[in-house]
Amino acid sequence: MNRESDAVAMVAHLMALSARTAPKARGQDCLTVSVITGADLVALADEMRSIGEREGIGYFVRDASGVSESTACLLIGLQSRGTSALDCGGCGYPTCAEMLAAQQDSPTGGMLFSGPNCAVRVTDLGIAVGSAAKTASIHNVDNRIMYTAGVAARSLGWLQGCGVAYGIPLKASGKNIFFDRTS
């Protein structure tokens, strides 16, 4: 690795810290966070490409190109079995217990994410993803939040127990590889 790659890897770990320490409802952590580099980036990009080709979703293939050119990628997943225990109904069910029961009856195949999920916990995930992206921005590391990378990470079994996930690939170069993309 060169110094810039080392710096990107360090920022990825700082992003993981930002995600972990982001505010969460009732102070309960419900996230799985990991940093991938090297061969794991290649495997993630290959899985994204495979999903895109199999499902006929072109933007998975497009996003795979960005991941394959990245130096690191932060993966953040929401652990599905957790709830806020607020019985708020935001998930569409009157109680958290009913939402968890519906998870058991939910089809597992053919879905990019699994659910239903606690709306409060999904909000926690969004706050953590935003906090991580903010950290990348503070350190001038190019990044892009990709649900496609989260789907592929789940498909590879890297985020066990997570029903929803995102990836944030990172790169430091003279040109931001995540913009001016073709659709």
Q: What is the pLDDT along the chain (183 residues), one digit of tens a residue?
A: 699 999 999 999 999 999 999 999 999 999 999 999 999 999 999 999 999 999 999 999 999 999 999 999 999 999 988 899 999 999 999 999 999 999 888 776 668 999 999 999 999 999 999 999 999 999 999 999 999 999 999 999 999 999 999 999 999 998 999 987 666
In a domain, 99, yes or no: no
In a domain, 98, yes or no: no
In a domain, 53, yes or no: yes
Give the CATH number for residue 66.
Answer: 3.40.109.10
In a domain, 163, yes or no: yes
Evaluate whether 93 touches 84 at the Cβ level (below 8 Å). Answer: no
Q: How far apart are CA 64 and CA 70, in angstroms?
A: 10
Q: Which two tokens stand for residue 49?
A: 């490409």
Whole-number pLDDT of residue 1: 64
In a domain, 109, yes or no: no
In a domain, 161, yes or no: yes
Question: What's the domain range around 44?
Answer: 3-83+119-171
pLDDT digits over 138-158, tens only?
A: 999 999 999 999 999 999 999
Whole-number pLDDT of residue 82: 82
Task: Give the ranges where the chain is alpha helix by DSSP (H).
Answer: 3-21, 39-55, 58-68, 96-105, 119-138, 147-155
pTM, entire model:
0.94
In a domain, 10, yes or no: yes
> How many domains is the chain partitioned into structurally?
1
In a domain, 157, yes or no: yes
Whole-number pLDDT of residue 180: 72
Whole-number pLDDT of residue 109: 66
- The residue with tokens 């991938």 is 36
